[in-house]
Amino acid sequence: MSVIIAGERSGVGKTTVTLTLLASLRRRDRSVQSFKVGPDYIDPMFHQHVTGLPCRNLDPVLTSEAYIQQCFARHSQLSEYALVEGVMGLFDGVSSLVISHLSFAKNKGQMTNDQRQITDFASTAHIARLLDLPVVLVIDCSRLSGSVAAIAHGYQSFDPRIKIAGVVLNRVGSDRHLSLLKDSLEPLQLPILGVLRRQDNITIPDRHLGLVPTAELPELNALIDRLADLGDSCFDWQHLLPLLKSKPLPHPPHLPHPPSSIRIAVARDRAFNFYYQDNLDLLQQLGAELVFWSPLEDAAIPKDIQGMYFGGGFPEVFAQQLAENTSVRDGVKTAILKGMPAIAECGGLMYLCEQIIDFEGKSWSMAGVLPTSAVMGGRLTLGYRRAVALQDNLLVKVGTTVYGHEFHRSHLTITPTQPLFATSRYDCDENMGCEGWGFPANVHASYVHLHWGESGEIPQQFLKECVKVAF
């Protein structure tokens, strides 16, 4: 058993409620495994900071329904409690007209006989049905009172397959306000599992791609303590704890890592920190030793490595510091031009460019592997992508289709003459253009973030190329 924390829409406080629950559980010395619906990187960082365990993403577009069930079963059983944070509103999915986009529906396992039906594929409700978990619905009560019952009743009755275990009332004002909310909800016999008052001293700063990551928040521990204090008093723990309880295995299975013969340098610091934990686990399970390092702080690239992995992040925020670390920039360029395999996703791609031009128009020199520059702008590129490989490259063979996610506010001044992928929207044939650098041939640089959970051949192919390197 576990529960999913869902919102009636985006911005109602799902993350705050989730972190409050996690912080209070950890204060009680309870082990808790968290999960996040969707492709997000930043919310899982906050989960991990609180729980001490890597948060796992549950995303059927990037992986599959079967993978989600396996992932949840495997990791939830390793802790006493388990908790899933949803995405957007409860029923907000990719909203594909299945008949119009039949190939996507077949491939991703969601079918319907209704030509007009819009699916909620990849929504929080979809994950709740897949895992057979009850939902705790977070409602923003800051601008309503009696209408809360209509909202709760609508979500409770919209899909009979979804069990609403109760509601959490967020941003409640006065005692009178709370009394009006309770009176309105009473006829529904829907448990109120938590009440969070308006909090002026609990805010998580954000910027152009969402929340500011944990590594950049020196006051984060104090914030988590305030959330734990709040959680101790605002939840109905008598009803919540049994819902959160998982069924831990008496002897959790240990997956031994094969002897490490390949050392992969993984850039992980304030500038580069967007990684799916499952991707890192797969590399280790295939025999790689992960060497974490900082292009911001270190004086040189790690020694005795056979490959590099640059995840996404915010290199534009730290562009000056990255530019000033010339020894690392030169070391990265030299190693790659000598043939070292390198994966660079989004922020990593930007770092391999000649320059990053920030929001103020200032230019900062980067590694200079790719003959292009990354320019920050106001336009947000966001969404799932279906990407078909146009050539054999470091990770996949020509013609291979992969599903990924884009989320950035930069664009390149020069596009590759031989791009890696032809991309389209996840659910239709709308052309999103060609993108990705596979030149030099030992580089995979793309704006498209990939989750390898259903594509084990990707890390296998990467490590196969790394084995060939002798530095």
Residues labelled as active-site residues: 346
- CA angle 18–23–28, rounded 5-degree value: 130
Phi, psi of 248 (to 5 degrees): -65, 145
Alpha helices (runs of H) in 340-442, residue ranges in sequence order = 347-352
Distance of CA 195 to the CA centre of its chain: 27
Q: Which residues, including other chains, have CB under 8 Å from residue 430's CB and lie 6 or more apart?
A: 424
For residue 239, the SS3 value is: helix
Instruction: State how far the Cα of 75 lies from the Cα of 282, in Å rounded to an integer.
Output: 15
Closest CA to 412 of 349, 364, 362: 349
- Measured at the CA of 447, the angle between CA 441 and CA 449, to 5 degrees, comes to 100
What is the sign, positive or negative, of the torsion defined by CA atoms of 107, 463, 345, 125? positive
Query: Which of 277, 287, 324, 327 lies closest to 307 in space, CA to CA?
Result: 287
Residue with tokens 């967020």: 170
Residue 277: Cβ-neighbour burial (10 angstroms; 0-12, 13-18, 19+): middle
DSSP3 helix / strand / coil % (the chain, rounded to 5): 30, 30, 40
Is residue 121 a contact partner of residue 154, using CB atoms and an 8 Å limit?
no
Say if CB 313 and CB 322 are below 8 A apart.
no
Structure tokens at 247: 């069924």
Hey, what are 325's tokens? 């670390």
Closest CA to 201 of 220, 234, 223: 223
- Per the document, the length of the chain is 471
Burial 225-250 (b: 16+ CB within 10 A, else e): eebbebbeebbebeebeebbebebee
Produce one character per residue of 434-462: b if its CB has 16 or more CB atoms within 10 Å, e if not. Answer: bbbbbbbebbbbbbbbbbbbbbeebbebb
